[in-house]
Amino acid sequence: MTPRTVSSLSARFLAFTQRLRLGQNAGRILHRASRLELNFTALPPPSETVWWDEGLPLYHLIALPRGALSGPVQDDKAPAYELLNQLVQTRQISYPSFDLRWINGLYTRTPIAASTPISSFEELVATPECRPHARIISYRDFERTLSQALSTGPLPLQLREANWRGSRLFWHGPEQHVCAFAGAVAYARLRGLEYLLPAELTSYYVDQKAVETLGAAFHVLAVHSSSWNERSFVKLLIDNAIPYARLTLPSEAEPLEWLLLPRQSPLSDALGQGLLMAGAPDVLERLRQLQPASDTFQTSFPLPNDKSDNT
């Protein structure tokens, strides 16, 4: 047997023992992770409120800052960032005539009513905080209130929609005029008043191809921020030098983080599988349930059914 043959056999044996040891470590990590008792919290359900930032905080993925991810190794964060940055796509359309009554959401929260779970403009203008700013009795009051709401923002109307927010259309305007704008829209609905204005709609949607690409490369799990205070969880990560990346998405709901674990690493793949078994919510599974974006833009929208005499 030549020295070259001996060297080749030694290298193959060493690689085999390393794979065997790696497999044993992965199995141990899978077992330990599946038994972790972390404060797992379900992802926020689809929101029915008028506020843009309710429900899944996917709007933070729009123009995601390059430094948004944290983690010990840059080489793990960089590919995660590139894939996350492709999740939310944008399309725009201009409407020369847009019926004011179609709008049923607010991009900007007003501090005086921001904490209230409100599902319609009619509910909003009926609150004690908004009622003085949106009292409309006549058509003249309507025009005055609408002019006030649009006084600091040039036409066309700036609108937003997102496929994780269903069919809602959100007005992007200054917070000090939210009540006035909601009052004008509620009055137009109540009176059956068609009022047309030019509008520019920005449509955000989660790209399902990007979801699958991300899912092929990473486990993406939702973990409570308090998990990083759990010694057993942090020790499992550090002692085994498991690669990962963290993404914090501020939200009005629970302080959840996305934990991204590369599948190509047997140890991080095992950790991801174990955490799923322990009850960690699968972010990608939730994203797969979103309504896919339409290939065509709507030229009209259904009028909301919610009406009230509290205007």
What's the rounded mean pLDDT across residues 194-223? 95
What's the rounded mean pLDDT across residues 113-133? 83
Kindly state whether residues 190 and 96 are assigned to the same domain: yes
Say which range, 17-31, 154-168, 273-287, has the weakest mean pLDDT.
17-31
Rg (CA), the chain: 26
What's the rounded mean pLDDT across residues 152-181? 90
Q: What is the pLDDT of residues 38-58, one digit of tens each?
A: 888 888 888 889 999 888 889
Q: What is the pLDDT of residues 81-117, one digit of tens each?
A: 999 999 999 999 999 999 999 999 999 887 665 566 7
Percentage, residues of the chain above pLDDT 70: 82
Rounded distance between C-alpha atoms, residue 211 and residue 59, angstroms = 15
Residue 170 near residue 161 (C-beta atoms within 8 A): yes
What's residue 23's pLDDT? 57
Percentage, residues of the chain above pLDDT 90: 54
Examine residue 26 and state whether it is found in any structural domain, yes or no.
no
* pLDDT tops 50 at residue 307: no
Examine residue 282 and state whether it is found in any structural domain, yes or no.
yes
Strand arrangement, sheet containing 218-224? 69-70, 245-248, 256-262, 218-224
- In Å, how far from its chain's centre is CA 114? 19
Query: Residue 282 forms beta bridges with which residues?
Result: 221
Strand arrangement, sheet containing 157-162? 88-99, 196-206, 157-162, 170-171, 105-106
State the average pLDDT for the chain. Answer: 84
What's residue 59's pLDDT? 87
Last residue of a domain, one of 158, 189, 206: 206
Query: Residue 245 forms beta bridges with which residues?
Result: 260
Residue 70 near residue 246 (C-beta atoms within 8 A): yes
Kindly state whether residues 202 and 128 are assigned to the same domain: yes
Residues in the chain: 311
Enumerate residues 6+ apart whose C-beta is below 8 A from 285: none
Kindly state whether residues 162 and 201 are assigned to the same domain: yes
Q: What is the pLDDT of residues 240-250, one digit of tens each?
A: 999 999 998 87
Examine residue 1 and state whether it is found in any structural domain, yes or no.
no
